Amino acid sequence: MKTYYDPSIFEYSWEGVKNKDYIIATYYIEDFLDGVDFLDHLSKVQEMVLEGSTGSWIDIKEETPGVREKLSGKLLGYYEVPAPKYGKRAIIQLAFPTAAWDLNANIPMMLLSVAGNIFVFSKKVRVLDISFPESLIKKFSGPKFGIDGLRKLTGVQGRPLLLHIIKPKMGMTAEETANQVYLTALGGADFAKDDEMCSTVFNCSMEDRLTAVLKAVEKAKKKTGRELIYFVSITDDTDRIVERAKRAVEIGAKGLLVSYPIGFSALKAITSNPDISVPVLLHPSNMLGLIPTNSYVFLAKMARLCGADILLGPSYWGATPPVTLEESIRWTQVVRSPLYGVKPMMPTIGGGAHPGLAEIYIKEVGINHIIASGGGLLGHPEGYTAGARAWRQAIDSVVNDVPLEKAAEKHIELRNALKYFGYYKRPRTPWLYISPEFTPKVFKDDDIRK
């Protein structure tokens, strides 16, 4: 007798796959059928599981019980979310056996299991999170530098790092680019990076730009005693990008920028190559377009697994926030969390960032992150060097618990930046208990739990 629900899929729990070779993905799904009172959501989940592993839309004789038991996905959790009439909403957790593809730690095949045809079944599906077994993690090298390595390279401890985004996106000559980096280096920027739209342009090759910027960095170092690290864009087709990365390192690059269109697999090819021994910054670019169906927590974990030292990501306070407040904070936390010895990745937030937002950024994310600023640095009324100084003054004041308005009384660059860009205080939600009216006054007036 064939039951409605296959035991090889449904008769599992977290304990049943614990410490075994499964990746576990968490999803939000919802389905609605107007006028239909009986919605069998578990049957829908069963089809999703089989599509991500062994099955088709109809039974095939070669898909034996043994094949399903070994290779099919497993439902570990189904948690219903209240839904309007004629609808079903749920959080589900599915485990997929790595035996299907793990001989070579195969990223594309992993994504096919977790985030492939699964999207064609429910009206709305979103991958929320992913968890890896230790046996799989050990097959990846992860970031070469991570947070500690980046701090060692820069010599900076105890504060967020400042990244100058080179603007305009493209069109400058190599010499113009170098001059801009030189000026922000004088102001105290720790890093500079090409805009993701710039790689090799008709009037500015990667090689010429890199050579010119490295000279400017050395010139600034003689004045400041500190060496800015420049992330040069090497984004290219997958059959050329590793050689291009090697070429940049040969010229003297201290950092590489790649954009997500290359894919996680190409990122892994770069970061795992022993000849490419510099930090790699991943720009999300069109990865942001995946957010309706893939949470940034999931995407950021994949970037870390594939070796990015730095990931630029969305902030609720950015120019175009594509995520909620909680997701914008949570992704920065998980990339720094313990992961079977894999180095933590440095999160980077930006997009419309200016010194008036420094307090919000730093107090939400902490000191182990990079603030990326283009227009909010270069647009300073007194120029590029003043823009970098204003940012450094803002960062230092927040880290030392000095209000920005107070610090601005001492620092003219910061004062003019706040006057020009504005200063933003983070809104507060006055609650502690379920009933806000019973929240102690001290919590309404100030946050005493620091």
pLDDT digits 0-9 by tens, 59-109: 777 777 777 777 789 999 999 999 999 999 999 999 999 988 877 788 999
In whole angstroms, how far apart are CA 3 and each of 9, 43, 49, 92, 145? 12, 11, 16, 21, 52
Neighbours of 427 (CB within 10 A): 7
In whole angstroms, how far apart are CA 291 and each of 89, 107, 311? 19, 19, 15
Q: What is the reported pLDDT for 69? A: 77
Of residues 167, 169, 215, 219, which has the active-site annotation? 167
Q: What is the reported pLDDT for 180? A: 98
Q: What is the reported pLDDT for 396? A: 98
Q: What is the reported pLDDT for 83? A: 95
Of residues 283, 369, 380, 411, which has the active-site annotation? 283
CATH tag, 7-137 = 3.30.70.150
**322, 304 contact by CB (below 8 A):** no
Residue boundaries of the structural domains of the chain: 7-137, 146-421
Answer yes or no: 167 catalytic: yes
Q: Within 13 A of 274's CA, how many CA atoms are on the CB side? A: 0
The tens digit of pLDDT for each residue in 105-130 reads: 889 999 999 998 889 888 899 999 99
Helix (H/G/I), strand (E/B), else coil: 226: coil
CATH of 146-421, one of 3.20.20.110, 3.40.50.150, 2.60.40.1730, 3.40.50.410: 3.20.20.110
Q: What is the reported pLDDT for 450? A: 45
Query: Which residue ranges in the chain fall short of pLDDT 50?
Result: 448-450
**45, 118 contact by CB (below 8 A):** no
Answer yes or no: 411 catalytic: no
Alpha-carbon Rg for the chain in angstroms: 25
**114, 101 contact by CB (below 8 A):** no
Answer whether 7-137 and 146-421 agree in fold.
no
What pTM was estimated for this model as a whole?
0.94
Q: What is the reported pLDDT for 270? A: 97
Structure tokens at 119: 């999207």
Closest CA to 312 of 282, 288, 274: 282
Q: What is the reported pLDDT for 444? A: 57
**271, 143 contact by CB (below 8 A):** yes
Neighbours of 339 (CB within 10 A): 19
User: CA-based angle 443:444:447, to the nearest 5?
Assistant: 45
Closest CA to 123 of 56, 26, 48: 48
Q: What is the reported pLDDT for 449? A: 47
